[in-house]
């Protein structure tokens, strides 16, 4: 079974986070690289720049964003497999910067990883 946690990068790191992976294409404002306590910054698994801009964190577009992002993720099977392997070995903490804790790409990514 996969062990995946989703957390805003602005929350303090904890010892229970496990492998901390930033899954945003852009570096979050106000966060230092040392303060982030990252194991990895995975820009490639983030939504494309055009999809991110189209979505604009508009909750009314989230359903369509989810469909489009899932199509993008379908083309990244090797990377999804690698993330599943990480989550199968230890806690994988997907970090994101969006303010909305429900309508964001980390939620979509986590569901994709669990669905297999």
pLDDT at 1: 60
The residue ranges of DSSP E strands in the chain, in sequence order, are 4-8, 19-22, 40-41, 92-96
The pLDDT tens digits of the residues spanning 52-82 come to 999 999 999 999 999 999 999 999 999 999 9
- Which three-class secondary structure state does DSSP give residue 95? strand
Please list the residues that pair with 5 across neighbouring strands: 93
Please write the tens of the pLDDT for every residue from 11-64.
Answer: 999 999 999 999 999 999 999 999 999 999 999 999 999 999 999 999 999 999
Decide if pLDDT at 116 tops 80: no
Q: Where are the domains of the chain?
A: 4-115
Does the pTM surpass 0.85? The reply is: yes
Q: Are 72 and 110 in contact (CB under 8 A)?
A: no
Percent of the chain residues past pLDDT 70, beyond the cut: 98
Q: What is d(CA 82, CA 77) in angstroms, rounded to the nearest whole number? A: 9
**Backbone angles phi and psi of 23, in degrees to 5:** -115, 30
Q: For residue 70, give the 3-state DSSP assignment.
A: helix
């Amino acid at each position: 079974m996969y062990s995946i946690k989703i957390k805003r990068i602005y929350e303090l790191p904890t010892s229970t986070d496990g492998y901390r992976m930033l899954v945003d294409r852009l570096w979050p404002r106000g966060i230092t690289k040392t303060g982030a306590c990252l194991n990895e910054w995975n820009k490639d698994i983030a939504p494309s720049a055009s999809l991110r801009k189209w979505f604009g964190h508009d909750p009314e577009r989230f359903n369509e964003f989810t469909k489009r992002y899932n199509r993008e993720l379908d083309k990244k099977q090797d990377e999804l497999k690698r993330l599943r392997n990480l989550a199968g070995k230890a806690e994988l903490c997907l970090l994101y910067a969006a303010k909305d804790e429900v309508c964001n790409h980390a939620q979509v990514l986590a569901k994709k990883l669990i669905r297999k």
